[in-house]
Amino acid sequence: MFPLGTVLFPGVHLPLRIFEQRYLQLFSDISETNQDFGTCLIEKGHEVGGNDSRFSYGTLCKVVDSEELALGQLGIQSIGIKRVIIKKWLPDNPYPMANLEILDDSEDTDFPYKQKIIEELERCYVLLVQMGAVQPESMNIKILGQLDLFSACSLAPLGQLDKYNLLKLDTSEDRSNSLLSLITSERETLAAMSRLQQEESK
């Protein structure tokens, strides 16, 4: 297991820079045995050094590429495969280990409320660009229609706890409904912030 401060959804790429010795050992073991690894959101604590508290839902990941970096570091390119639920944490040996249940679900490009979700994502993106929070090239709006639901959740400008709550939902209907509600609320907040920013600049 590789606990993180961010939520990963299935189908989404995850680049990692590995420098802790225990995780260098983890990815060495994965390379030798051709195994996958799991990631989950850290509830309390830090990514570095251990002694963290972790949430129960996560994502199984596959390494697709790796390269040695300077100073004993490792660059990893991975992708989320399936949602998992952690049934039991095992002692670190030397890295975090757990018994997982793999959740057999998938999200295709046809999901409930898709058009409304895309419209809200576009509006959030435009507001963030206007506020100078992101660069115009940070999102390709033209590809939004090709997204599956997990990718839409990943792109949404939401906090990690909101994304975790989306990850753990069991059905596309629930996930779509919750995503639409969350990004609509976020868009309203961004619009209010943008108006305030414009007023202060006058």
Q: Sketch the domain layout of the chain as residue ranges.
A: 13-103, 114-201
3-state secondary structure of 21: helix
Q: What per-residue confidence (pLDDT) applies to 48?
A: 47
Q: What per-residue confidence (pLDDT) applies to 46?
A: 58
Residue 94: cis peptide before it, omega within 30 degrees of 0: yes
Q: What per-residue confidence (pLDDT) applies to 100?
A: 95
Q: What per-residue confidence (pLDDT) applies to 166?
A: 97
Does 13-103 carry CATH code 2.40.160.40?
no
160 vs 113: CA distance, rounded Å: 22
- With residue 90 as reference, give the H or E element that holds it: strand 74-90
SS3 content of the chain, % helix, strand, coil (to 5): 45, 25, 30
Averaged over successive runs of 10 residues, the pLDDT of the chain (202 residues) comes to: 94 94 94 93 68 88 93 93 96 93 83 94 93 84 85 94 96 95 96 88 73
Q: What per-residue confidence (pLDDT) applies to 49?
A: 53
